[in-house]
Structure 1
């Protein structure tokens, strides 16, 4: 993505609002190259001042300088073939940057206190993530259940305790079945964490805690779009290591 290098260079100066703006620009590049600051602020649900501060944080003199950069870099990238390996490395690096912001004490406390941890994925690939996460979390000697549809969720809600933890795994955070799922969890006052790509989305807004990863879509030589879920696995592997460290240090009893 065109802003990734700048975002990584100035990552510590950026807040979540800035990251949402960056994601919008990366995914709407052609429109943003000719967009006025007022329109960009409206599209990102921010303000002119927020956009201006964002561009300054990335090292630009202002919005006009920033737009010139977008046009130049876009033309430059168009001339070159995309290096998918470098892009993949960048994607993983971005995920570790995002995961550095996760409150692992909170996540591991919730897992440790739960009688049962429930995992739900919104699609086939997300369900594969849930099943691999189940294998990882079982090493913590916890009761881990993968939920395969809304009907199974309704069944477990009747017996889930207030200490139980739900993970909802989604790529966009906007899947058609999510409103019913999040409404059920909120109605029963169940604590749930969302795992999505970094952008403003309905699931992240409703979750008690949000985890963001990087997952960029690219196109295969036959035109098929492909999104990697390896960074979702990285999150659960990271949680396991934090959990193990806290057990060894006597922080979790």
Structure 2
């Protein structure tokens, strides 16, 4: 699956959301172009390609490459997204979270919460039913589902494992990288892999994906980078939008959205596949026995 396969996804998306999804893959010059557009977006709705190239000291071909990297079909489509973004500012304005050492404890906490809210709202806005149903179909057909995650993504993978333990899905999670390699090599087309990777560029995870692809294992990936090597090698992509502050890296805010994507998958699996509630009743009863009455 290549980048142009996602053009339809961005037909009605705003510029800032598209930028967040593809920012990791931009060159330094393209990031400069992006910053100029962000600062002048309300004035660029009627700016043509030549004018934008001149304003950013770029060539027309450079702007065109930048447009395609963001997943837009052409400059006109990207320019329409400026209008979508401008309109959304009036309809549902969510201020970016900014943090300063001079802020009070409550102001800093509010900024952290606002960053999470921004990520949730942005991620929800790009959810597509077809992607969710495709992921559930992959899970339904799988004899075994292995969750993979590294670093901070391990938390999300563990959450997925914890959720699906309460279902009929045979799910597990190897924690050690060598164990992950061996487990990936044991899977086949009748199984599936659920991969969590914020950037989609982790070398060790790419190695695991290569093994999975070699064995024709269906892959569901939850990521913030739609054009990353891991995303491109996967069968189903669920995207999370991340926000960044000067103190909090974007990977932290994306975790909030990724946790809820996992929850959405679990609930969908429960409703669409596990219509028998006995799995959940048994898990609930077992856990209740551990609590003091």
Taking structure 1 as the reference length, the TM-score comes to: 0.71
Distance 1:14 1:157 in 2: 37
Counterparts in 2 of 1:172 and 1:25: CA distance versus 1, 3 Å:
closer
Give per-residue Cα distances to partners, 1:45-70, cap 9 Å, x unaligned: 4599712221124328xxxxx9xxxx
Higher Rg of the two aligned structures: 2
Give structure 2 stretches of 5+ with no counterpart: 1-8, 37-54, 87-95, 101-107, 277-293
Is 1:174 equivalent to 2:198 in the alignment? Answer: no
Is 1:51 equivalent to 2:75 in the alignment? Answer: yes
Counterparts in 2 of 1:158 and 1:25: CA distance versus 1, 3 Å:
closer
Distance 1:163 1:209 in 2: 16
Conserved 8 A contact 2:21-2:241: no
Counterparts in 2 of 1:157 and 1:177: CA distance versus 1, 3 Å:
closer
Counterparts in 2 of 1:234 and 1:31: CA distance versus 1, 3 Å:
same
Matches within 5 A, 1:27-106: 30-32=32-34, 33=36, 35=56, 36=58, 38-45=61-68, 50-59=74-83, 84=111, 85-106=113-134
Conserved 8 A contact 1:197-1:213: yes
Distance 2:158 2:243 in 1: 22
More strand by percentage: 1
Distance 2:72 2:165 in 1: 48
Give per-residue Cα distances to partners, 1:197-237, cap 9 Å, x unaligned: 044211111111111011222233xxx64622111110111
Taking structure 2 as the reference length, the TM-score comes to: 0.62
**Please, which moves more after superposition, 88-97 or 144-153?**
144-153
Partner of 1:164: 191
Conserved 8 A contact 1:174-1:203: yes
Matches within 5 A, 1:100-139: 100-123=128-151, 125-139=152-166
Instruction: Kindly tell me the number of residue pairs found equivalent between the two proteins.
Output: 221
Distance 2:127 2:119 in 1: 12
Counterparts in 2 of 1:200 and 1:16: CA distance versus 1, 3 Å:
farther
In structure 1, which of residues 224, 229, 241 is the aligned counterpart of residue 267 of structure 2?
241
Q: State the 1:96 CA deviation.
A: 1.4
Give structure 1 stretches of 5+ with no counterpart: 1-10, 61-65, 67-76
Is 1:140 equivalent to 2:138 in the alignment? Answer: no
Conserved 8 A contact 2:140-2:273: no
